[in-house]
Structure 1
Amino acid sequence: MNILNAQFPSSNRLVDDYVNQRMGMQTFFPYTPYDQASYQARLSYLQRRPLPHREQLAEGLLAYNQAIGNHPDALARIHSLRQENAVVVIAGQQAGVLTGPLYTIHKAIHLIQAAKQLEEEHGVPVVPVFWIAGEDHDWEEINHLFLPAGEGLKKCRLDLAKTGKTSASMMPLDLDACRAFLASFFDGMTETEHTAALRRLAEETAAAADNVADWFARIMVSLFGKHGLVFVESSLPFVRELERPVFEQIIQQNEELGSLLLRADEQIKQNGYEPQLAIEENQAHFFLYEEGQRLLLERKQDRFMTKDGRYRYSREQLLTMLETDPARFSANVVTRPLMQEHLFPTLAFIGGPGEVAYWAYFAEVFSHFGYQLPIVLPRMSITLVEGAITRYLQQLDLPATQVLHGFAGWKEAWLKQIKTDSQAEHLLARFAQTKQELLHQYQPLVQDVIAFDQGLAELAEKNTVRLLEQVDFLQQKIEQSLRNRHEVTLTRMQRVEQALLPEGRWQERVYSYFVFANKYGPELIDQLVAAPFSPGPAHHIVSL
């Protein structure tokens, strides 16, 4: 497995400035992600900060991870979290079908590698925790996968009877719908020695799962449990019980929360960056479940209501509900980080470019609620390059890095070149010239033959035509060779683009892990977990 490092994939200037630690970033992030001193300072802070619910947290994690069938090595990591000096590195993701796009897998790999490295460097237990965002209700975002098909993509969609804003953790699985989805997905790939086992894994985990989030968790456990990865799901009763004090603060100090976010938004703009979140003054920044629907609340003066105004609550009503039924409350993109910081002794949070960008809003929010922003570590990004694609790149004399950064320009220049192929133009021009010269030299001979014997006139004319046809035949062969040469190159280009930059998007945002596991087997995960990825801000191009 060969690894080449390329430019970190971000089109966001704020993220680029943070990754490259340009001046002014400490305004938004108190720590730097690749500085050992930051990790030591954060550890010192965590040792001073009490975590009274540590035992309750470990018990809840243990019960959940046992329920989803996690590996004994992961359960052992949970037990290590009981130690007073134990910390976590944490990342989260929505519960996409069959684990969703590859970047979900990359987050898990990064968690495992970062925990191991930090534990060795600092001599304290570091537990990798994957937060499943099971309360997400954007079904259209997580219900499908893509397969390469011809020159494009095939979309495989899981069709479940979803109504309204039902969370993934509340959506029961229809096994018939799952079988239809899996048939469409696996039938869309070439069958290999690994296909049957992968399909069996998908079917068995679906049969054992209670809902969409549970299915995701069981597949992830089968892939990463033996590497010690611990899972938590956002809607678990013990999680909501532990989050109760933070929700109480959010309800009571909702105006202050809104003001801090508006101030952060203004500060981001003043520093020359585009807004990273859509912040509005009346946002309450949490959801409430009503009749199984996860509804976002807004604040109007001293009251809270849903956007359509159907449900209205006083502050006192919400606090009473929180006391009697905390499971009805759910955090949003702004308040989920607060919950995470309250629940876990977080050494570092690993996030994708979008997550890093919106965490720039939270430093003062954390401080106001009595916390400190953890180290925000940009997640590992990977492009997997199969052997055939490596050969095509070599034949095209095209570096993989150029495909990821600047392929459109390279392709445009190549297409322009074949339109003005000087060698081909010169050769084809010579055929036209040669035919003229042949006629010029041969025609006098034909006239002499006809003068000698009038009966040979028709034969002489046919002979002239045949002579020119032979030249035309060779010209056609050259033209066909030229077309074939470009068709082969075009085919190679199309396959490279489809593999590494499908429809102009990075591979890790389109394809599923199962596409590659079908070719390289389930041990591909183990190879990637063990791969020597550099810890710095780079995109890793992995030749399989």
Structure 2
Amino acid sequence: MRVECLALPLANQLAQEYQQQNASALQFFAHNPYHIQSYQDRLEYLRGRSYSHREQLAEGLYTFNQKIGNHQEALQRIEALKHPDTYVVIGGQQAGVLTGPLYTIHKAVHLIQTAKKLSNELHAEVVPVFWIAGEDHDIDEIDHVYWLTDRETRLHKERMKLDKKGRVSASSLPLDEEACRLFLDSFFHGQTETGETREIRELLMQTAASSQNVAEWFGRLMASLFGKHGLIFVESSQPFVRELERPVFERVIEKNEQVSDLLLKAADRIATAGYPLQLQVEEHQANLFLYEGQDRLLLERHGDRFVNRRASYTREELLKLAADHPERLSTNVVSRGLMQEHLFPTLAFIGGPGEISYWAYYREVFELFNMQMPIVLPRMSVTLVEGAQQRLLEGLDLPLEQVLSGFADWKRDWEARQEPHPLQEQFAATREQLLAMYQPLVDEVVRLDGGLRGLAEKNTRMLLEQVTFLEDRLVRSLQQQDDVEHVRIKRIEASLLPDGGLQERKLCFFPYANKYGLSLVDRLVEAPFAHDGTHQLFFV
């Protein structure tokens, strides 16, 4: 099993410097995520806290995980959560169809590996928990997947038709049988039939048929992939979760102004340190959502009232609603972390670059609620490298590191070295001749009517652009038909750097499973990945 590491820059400056353990970024967090002492200190802190709801939490998790068909190994880990010396590493993701982009898979692998590593190092029971963000109502972010087509030279996007009326959450969005069938038909039509296809098809169809909504389908798929490795799942809209969250809902409502004030001050400190602000913070935000029927609507605070687009509540009314109907309240990106800390004895939270930049705002908010921010561990980033891609890279004498960190420059230099097609010289000569013939006419038009100068010059540019357009189409056509080298480069670009970004942010897991089998998950879980902030190359 071959794994290599690369130091790749992140677009997110704060997350980049946090991974590099720079003091300017670490100051916004409670712990250095790469020091074992941080985990020992955090463990001692957790041992001093009481989680009186452990039994109720474990029972709710057991019922939910049984419902989604999770493995006995995961159910045993849930039983362990009843014991006072059991802790968690936790991370989560939106409930994307077919599990969404590859980084969802990578995050689950990272959770499992980290829990095992910390159990050994700290001599304590540490279990992995995956938080399904089932209340997300931005359905356009989760209703599609990407895969490669046209000899793996082009990125294809397939969107599943979902009934997205209003601001309904993924956990309330029914999984339409016909829409699901059409979506899966399109998916398998875009895949090459292999010895693994039948098993993949059965898994996707059976889990879909057993699921009532999009979030449940996601949970069933993830449980089928990772349950035997002990990964526990929690879904944010489950009634037992809301019941346990009630005290924090009440405190967020009571301390609402203080939370907003601390977030604004944190934003000032982050900006002063020279980092771009990733989280939009406003004085009137309430950091909660409220369900009005099926719609999850953002709450704002104006004076002593909490309002959304449909209704207005006094603080007392909202507190009573939290006490009597906590299922109507829902967290936002700020309050979710508080809920997670309240629910679980969390050693570490595993998050991506965007999540890290959000959590930089929260340290003082945790302290306001008499909590300590958990260790924020950067999510492992992985690129899957197939044998065919390795051979293409070798043929072009192109290092993989160059593809992932400077491919645009390499490609531009490569194109500059290519011999022009003979017709390109003819196109250039034609442009010169056309300009020589047309310019005297333009000059005469301008002499007769100076007001037509702009129109005449625009007309000239349009004529020349039409010649260039035809030239570009010809070059592309020749490249597609005859130039093997261009096709190779397109395959490398599409598979390793789709849309100019990392593979894990676009491509879906199941086309890889269709090639290499579902056991690919087991190989990833067992791979010797480094959890040090470097980018991991997994050679399939």
TM-score (norm 2): 0.88
Q: Are residue 185 (structure 1) and residue 169 (structure 2) matched?
A: no
Say if 1:331 and 1:195 are closer, same or farther in 2 by CA, change over 3 A: same
The answer for the alignment partner of 1:286 in structure 2 is 288
Q: Are residue 202 (structure 1) and residue 204 (structure 2) matched?
A: yes
Q: Alpha-carbon deviation of 1:147? A: 1.5
The answer for the alignment partner of 1:438 in structure 2 is none
The answer for the alignment partner of 2:507 in structure 1 is 511
The answer for the alignment partner of 2:108 in structure 1 is 108
Q: Alpha-carbon deviation of 1:270? A: 0.6
Q: Alpha-carbon deviation of 1:486? A: 8.7
The answer for the alignment partner of 1:12 in structure 2 is 12
Q: Alpha-carbon deviation of 1:152? A: 2.1
Q: Rg bigger for which structure?
A: 1
Whichever residue aligns with residue 294 of structure 1, its letter is: R
Residue correspondences, number = 483
Say if 1:148 and 1:483 are closer, same or farther in 2 by CA, change over 3 A: closer
**8 Å contact from structure 2 (residues 479, 487) kept in 1:** no
The answer for the alignment partner of 2:406 in structure 1 is 406
Q: Alpha-carbon deviation of 1:80? A: 1.0
Q: Secondary structure at the match of 1:163?
A: coil
Q: Secondary structure at the match of 2:277?
A: coil
5+ long unaligned stretches in structure 2? 422-477
Whichever residue aligns with residue 252 of structure 1, its letter is: E
Tell me the distance in 2 between the aligned counterparts of 1:522 and 1:128.
21
The answer for the alignment partner of 1:366 in structure 2 is 366
Q: Alpha-carbon deviation of 1:420? A: 8.0
Q: Alpha-carbon deviation of 1:383? A: 0.5
**8 Å contact from structure 1 (residues 152, 503) kept in 2:** no
Q: Alpha-carbon deviation of 1:488? A: 2.1
The answer for the alignment partner of 1:156 in structure 2 is 158
CA deviation profile, 1:119-175 (whole Å, cap 9, x unmatched): 011110001000000000001100000121223222111102121100000011111
Say if 1:395 and 1:236 are closer, same or farther in 2 by CA, change over 3 A: same
Tell me the distance in 2 between the aligned counterparts of 1:130 and 1:247.
22
The answer for the alignment partner of 1:133 in structure 2 is 133
Q: Secondary structure at the match of 2:483?
A: helix
The answer for the alignment partner of 1:237 in structure 2 is 239
The answer for the alignment partner of 2:498 in structure 1 is 502
**8 Å contact from structure 2 (residues 290, 297) kept in 1:** yes
Say if 1:205 and 1:483 are closer, same or farther in 2 by CA, change over 3 A: closer
**8 Å contact from structure 2 (residues 480, 487) kept in 1:** no
Tell me the distance in 2 between the aligned counterparts of 1:374 and 1:24.
19
Tell me the distance in 2 between the aligned counterparts of 1:520 and 1:327.
42
Whichever residue aligns with residue 27 of structure 1, its letter is: Q
Q: Alpha-carbon deviation of 1:414? A: 0.7
Tell me the distance in 1 between the aligned counterparts of 2:161 and 2:420.
50
Tell me the distance in 2 between the aligned counterparts of 1:51 and 1:113.
25
**8 Å contact from structure 1 (residues 9, 539) kept in 2:** no
5+ long unaligned stretches in structure 1? 422-481
Tell me the distance in 2 between the aligned counterparts of 1:326 and 1:483.
60
Whichever residue aligns with residue 312 of structure 1, its letter is: S
Q: Secondary structure at the match of 2:115?
A: helix
Tell me the distance in 2 between the aligned counterparts of 1:19 and 1:483.
41
The answer for the alignment partner of 1:328 in structure 2 is 328
Q: Are residue 355 (structure 1) and residue 355 (structure 2) matched?
A: yes
Q: Alpha-carbon deviation of 1:25? A: 3.0
Whichever residue aligns with residue 190 of structure 1, its letter is: T
**8 Å contact from structure 2 (residues 305, 312) kept in 1:** yes
Q: Choose the corresponding residue for 1:492, options 463, 488, 492.
A: 488
Whichever residue aligns with residue 418 of structure 2, its letter is: I
Whichever residue aligns with residue 242 of structure 1, its letter is: L
Tell me the distance in 1 between the aligned counterparts of 2:26 and 2:536.
27
Q: Are residue 316 (structure 1) and residue 316 (structure 2) matched?
A: yes
CA deviation profile, 1:5-61 (whole Å, cap 9, x unmatched): 112451111111111111233420110111000000000100011111111111111
The answer for the alignment partner of 1:467 in structure 2 is none
Say if 1:483 and 1:43 are closer, same or farther in 2 by CA, change over 3 A: closer
Tell me the distance in 2 between the aligned counterparts of 1:401 and 1:26.
28
Matches within 5 A, 1:373-388: 373-388=373-388
Whichever residue aligns with residue 225 of structure 1, its letter is: G
**8 Å contact from structure 1 (residues 146, 512) kept in 2:** yes
Q: Secondary structure at the match of 1:140?
A: helix
Say if 1:353 and 1:484 are closer, same or farther in 2 by CA, change over 3 A: closer
Matches within 5 A, 1:411-422: 411-419=411-419
The answer for the alignment partner of 1:272 in structure 2 is 274
The answer for the alignment partner of 1:525 in structure 2 is 521
Tell me the distance in 2 between the aligned counterparts of 1:257 and 1:541.
41
TM-score (norm 1): 0.87
Tell me the distance in 2 between the aligned counterparts of 1:175 and 1:484.
39
